[in-house]
Structure 1
Amino acid sequence: MKKSSFKALNAFPGFAGIGIALLVFLYLPLVVIIWYSFNANNIVMVWDGFSVHWFAQVFQSAQIRQAFMNSIIIAVWSTLLVLVLAVLASVGLVSMKRRNSSLINGLLSAPLILPEIVLSIALLSLFAFVKVPLGLPAMIVGHAVVGLPFALMTIRSRLSETDWTQFEAAADLGANERQIFRRITLPMLTPAIISGGMLSFIVSMDNFIMSFFTAGPGSTTLPLYIWGSLRVGLTPEINALSTMILVGSILILLLSQLITRKKG
């Protein structure tokens, strides 16, 4: 789009107002959560001064610490599983015919558009059919299903920008497929793998629906803990925990974007 087109768009009546209204609509709820997480009063919507007391309460809660550890365990293992599958799938799709590649890529990316509740119920039914107990292992598989498309898109995007002459040169010099994969493909994909892994990790940490359907005794994650706490009412402690999760998610996403930009 030409620069003059941008000027014409900016001159459209109400353009600035619509943009501001959209930003307020998207981010005002987050601002409210963050603001009231520093409320000294134990009544959420009654401001009684600035305090970090509720953040200290979060760190002191044994239940929250256990939920956090469960979330980390699930996110780490599901991310590792996602990265193995995403790298193998990306390399395999490159060697396929374009028509078949598009079909397989569409199937692997389906969790992005399928209703997650339907996907969760389907996976729950599969676990029941094959008699897989619910709990951390089942949640790891479920989170991997949800996180796979994010890593796959990132890694495939990096492969699409590849200069294939270096692979041909390595083959001409006598390198076999395993050596080319280890010495050229993996180093080249490392930034995309790290970026895709971060996206998959944060998707796992924030996941509620899949966690809800695949959780077992003793496998409560942070989103499940928050949902359970909200059943008895919103508290400043939940606001503080939500703020911490929000800040952590933003930092990971920013780092992922930074790595992606520097991949070239």
Structure 2
Amino acid sequence: MSRRLWWALPPVALLSLFFLYPLALVVQQSFRPDGGGASLQPYADVLASPAFRRALWTTVWLALGSTAGCLVLGFLLALVIAFVPFPGARAVARFIDVYLSFPSFLITLALLFIYGTTGMVGSLQFLATPWGVLLAEVTYFTPFVMRPLLAAFAQLDTAQLEAASSLGARAPRIVRQVIWPEALPALAAGGSLVLVLCLNEFGIVLFTGAKGVTTLPTLVYGKAILESDYPGACVVAVVNVLLSVGLYGLYRVVSRRAGA
């Protein structure tokens, strides 16, 4: 037992140094107003701010909408890649692995050539709206749902599909009764990952140039860099962390009770 503890010390020390200590500094700063001392006044000021409430609502609905879009689109695309034979299906599946390594701003920059002010349909200025941000997030995060789905579909016994087809079941019924139950754990994993990533997404909102769209991460940037309000920025950051950790905890509880 003591040997295991010794082996655990280096990763715990690195985690404390590079993550827990900076996080503790952020929490500490959130209780220190500019006037000095320790106070809950920064929390009172930020939580009572209409800008914070708007940013919180925008963050939540964008994250939920993007996650829903990624789940629907990712499931349909994964079905096509895994079960509809077409030339290049394997190459497309491999491209998804490469796509996951792309930075979010790169995909947003590509969308700017279509929906930006100087793009092919620039007169619409679609990408600078909340719906444009939603489209950019769905475009970027859908492969994060497709990857676990493709892995789950690869383990699916094709004999079940052949048996269902030989018994006269059509494609919608096969999807509903055979494929869907196998896809649920992968959908839950991919959806929870996308939800947390969307809650903390900064680059997409920044690069779309949507000035009327303020999320919690962009609010942290605005308070810290533009307003030099570091206690307020730390308060928003703490709320963002608590929201992400709370959603992760909820996912763990639900998945445990569901037997996933």
Instruction: Give, in whole Å, the separation in 2 of the partners of 1:27 and 1:174.
Output: 58
Q: Please state whether the residue corresponding to 1:43 is helix, strand or coil.
A: coil
The TM-score, its normalising length taken from structure 1, stands at: 0.81
Cα distance in structure 2, aligned partners of 1:75 and 1:52: 29
Amino acid at match of 1:233: S
Q: Cα deviation per residue 1:6-39 (whole Å; 9 max; x = unaligned)?
A: x7xx79xx966642442122332112112332x2
Q: How far apart, CA to CA, are the structure 1 residues paired with 2:181 and 2:92?
A: 25
The AA in structure 2 aligned to 1:54 is: P
Indicate conservation of the 8 Å contact 1:199/1:256, yes or no.
Answer: no
1:43 partnered with 2:38: no
Task: Report the equivalent of 2:79.
Answer: 91
Q: Residues of 2 paired with 1:160 and 1:152: CA distance?
A: 12
AA aligned to 2:76 is L
**Residue 229 of structure 2 is aligned to residue 237 of structure 1:** no
Preserved CA contact (<8 Å) 1:151 1:200: yes
- Provide structure 2 residue ranges, at least 5 long, that are not aligned to the other structure: none
- In structure 2, the CA distance between the partners of 1:187 and 1:54, relative to structure 1 (3 Å rule), is farther
- Specify the code of the residue in structure 2 equivalent to 1:190: L
Quick one: which of 245, 248, 254 aligns to 1:253? 248
> Per-residue deviation at 1:187?
3.2
Deviates more, 1:54-63 or 1:90-99: 90-99
1:3 is matched with none
Instruction: State the AA in 2 paired with 1:238.
Output: A
In the alignment, which residue of structure 1 is the partner of 2:130? 136
The structural deviation recorded for 1:110 is 3.7
Instruction: Give % identity.
Output: 23
Pick one of 15, 19, 24 that aligns with 2:11. Answer: 19
Tell me whether 1:145 sits opposite 2:139 in the alignment: yes
RMSD across aligned positions (CA): 2.8
Aligned pair count reads 249
- Partner residue, 2:218: 224
Shift of 1:259: 5.6
* CA distance in 1: counterparts of 2:148 and 2:40, whole angstroms: 38
- Name the structure 2 match of 1:4: none
Q: Which amino acid aligns with 2:14?
A: L
Tell me the distance in 1 between the aligned counterparts of 2:48 and 2:182: 43
Question: TM-score under structure 2 normalisation?
Answer: 0.82
The answer as to whether partners of 2:219 and 2:236 remain within 8 angstroms in 1 is no
Distance 2:144 2:259 in 1: 17
CA distance in 2, matches of 1:101, 1:58: 50
- Residue 21 of structure 2 is matched in structure 1 by 28
Q: Deviations over 1:78-136 (max 9, x none)?
A: 21221111101211221256983332123334442123333222222221222242111
Q: Residue deviations 1:49-82, cap 9 Å, x none? A: 3x44433333211001111222222222221221
